[in-house]
Amino acid sequence: METTLIILKPDAVQRGLMGRIISRFEDKGLQVVGGKFMKISDELAATHYADHKERPFYPGLVGFMTSSPVLVLALRGNGAIAICRSMMGATFGFKADPGTIRGDFGVSSSFNLIHGSDSPEAASRELGLFFNDGEVLDWSRPGDAWVYDMSSGTPE
């Protein structure tokens, strides 16, 4: 099982889309194993987006991410990173396919509703930035027997 970081950005929070977005992930079979409603500090935003520091959009991105509360989630499932990235859709809402989160709820190239880790390494680093030890939980859901075929001993 893989755990990934998802951030419902300020525009998703301000537009009242949190529940609808979380429902999509849960409907898919992903498990919420951590959650935090928070205001990202300038320092945390700078650390999280350090790879973009030299890009011209960096100041606006940090300003946007610190402008309003966000909902930070840890989601777990078999292939969770790729599943979440697919469900999010293309970065720019106007390019995202219908049926994806950005395709259904977004049109902007600046306000794109959601962040998701793009690799296991990024997920590990990002989860460590937003969650302290003990805040991402291991817990079982009896319904997972109906999400994953475990007949081979591993989730399929």
Residue 15 has which token pair?
């537009």
Of 32 and 150, which is predicted with more confidence?
A: 32
Q: What is the reported pTM?
A: 0.94
Q: Which residues are catalytic?
A: 115
Q: Is residue 29 left, alpha or beta, with left meaning phi > 0 and alpha meaning psi from -120 to 50?
A: left
- Kindly report, residue by residue over 65-105, the tens digit of the pLDDT: 999 999 999 999 999 999 999 999 999 999 999 999 999 99
Q: Which domains does the chain have, with CATH numbers?
A: 2-134 (3.30.70.141)
Residue 26: both structure tokens together? 């849960």
Torsion of CA 92, 93, 97, 102, to 10 degrees: 110
Number of other CB atoms surrounding residue 55 within 10 Å = 11
